[in-house]
A = this chain, B = another copy of it.
Amino acid sequence: MKTSLDCVPCFFTQALEAGRLAGASKATQKRIVERLTKAILKFSLKSPPPLMGRTLYKIVIEETKNKDPFYKVKQKSNKLALKIYPKLKKKVEQAKDRFLVAVELAIAGNIIDFGLSSSLDVEKELKSFLKGNFNIDHKQKKGIFSYHKFKKDIKAAKTILYIGDNAGEIVFDRVLIEEIKRSWPDKQIVYAVRGKPIINDVLIEDAKVCGIDKSAKIVSSGSDAPGIIFKFCTPSFSKLFKKSDLVISKGQGNYEALSENKRPIYFLFRAKCPVAARDIGSGLGDVILKCS
């Protein structure tokens, strides 16, 4: 997905939020905004937004000398999500179509803002999410594929690369991965995380804490962008991406970075901003399960 001019205000908002979270003084915030302004003048709109996400985050890290401003947010998110993990499992176990519910939960994980929530909020959000506005089973419009094709393709694949997105959300991915392994124990699943701290994106330690290693191999993409941009990835990750039978990409950042990639990819996320919604042809806030 190319960067839109509408991303520009959002870059500033993100930089200010990250800066403040990193403890930036007003003078430091001003320097962050100045450096970002200069970076935007040089930025090509043909690049995907996560490339600027990487740049702005680098500015924040350099100016605040805080290498991981979202560290506490991530810890809290993981803890919260792990707390409701038994309930998620129960939901799947009691479902008529276990796999459908596991897919729904994986996307639900992308919707909940763990960083700002309490355990109660998460359960409430989850409840309202699963109650009504989610119906991928019947979505066939505008390139949004049915989940049946997703299930069929998973069944046919031997190797699956699952690209993670945020801390907390990863526990919801675990539920889906465990459901895949339960149904088809021979699948080889690799779970990819970021190489360095970037926003609240998942790192190796988050994946381990959240128990992903029990059913998938964890690898680092090497990238420090909030989306897969191959020039920042390790050669081994790029190879893995190419040779895997099926790729699952979680979250909007990975969609933004990978939407123009030539290989088929299953994107699972919620269209959180008008630019992404316009790009995919969905409404703002729509739940997306799409095969590119």
Contacts and interface: CB of A to CB of B under 8 A. Distances in A.
Interface of A: 5-6, 8-10, 12-13, 16, 26, 29-30, 33-34, 37-38, 40-41, 45
B16 A5 contact: yes
Contacts of A45: 30
Nearest to A34: B41
Contacts of A16: 5-6, 8-9
Q: Which 8 A-B pairs have the closest CB atoms?
A: A9-B9, A9-B12, A9-B13, A8-B12, A5-B33, A37-B41, A5-B29, A37-B37
Nearest to A6: B16
10 contacts: A5-B33, A8-B16, A8-B37, A9-B9, A9-B12, A9-B16, A12-B12, A30-B45, A34-B41, A37-B40
Contacts of A33: 5, 8
Nearest to A26: B5
A37 to B, nearest CB: 5
Nearest to A36: B8
Contacts of A41: 34, 37-38
Contacts of A13: 9
A33 B7 CA distance: 11
A6 B30 CA distance: 10
A42 to B, nearest CB: 10
A13 B12 CA distance: 11
Contacts of A37: 8, 37, 40-41
A177 to B, nearest CB: 37
Contacts of A40: 37
Highest count of chain B CB atoms <10 Å: which of A30, A33, A34: A33
A9 B10 contact: yes
A20 to B, nearest CB: 10
Contacts of A5: 16, 26, 29-30, 33
A279 to B, nearest CB: 15
A279 B9 CA distance: 22
A38 B29 CA distance: 18
A10 to B, nearest CB: 7
A191 to B, nearest CB: 34
Nearest to A10: B9
A164 to B, nearest CB: 28
Given A8-B16, A8-B33, A37-B37, 16 more contacts: A5-B16, A5-B26, A5-B29, A6-B16, A8-B12, A8-B37, A9-B9, A9-B10, A9-B12, A9-B13, A9-B16, A12-B12, A30-B45, A34-B41, A37-B40, A37-B41
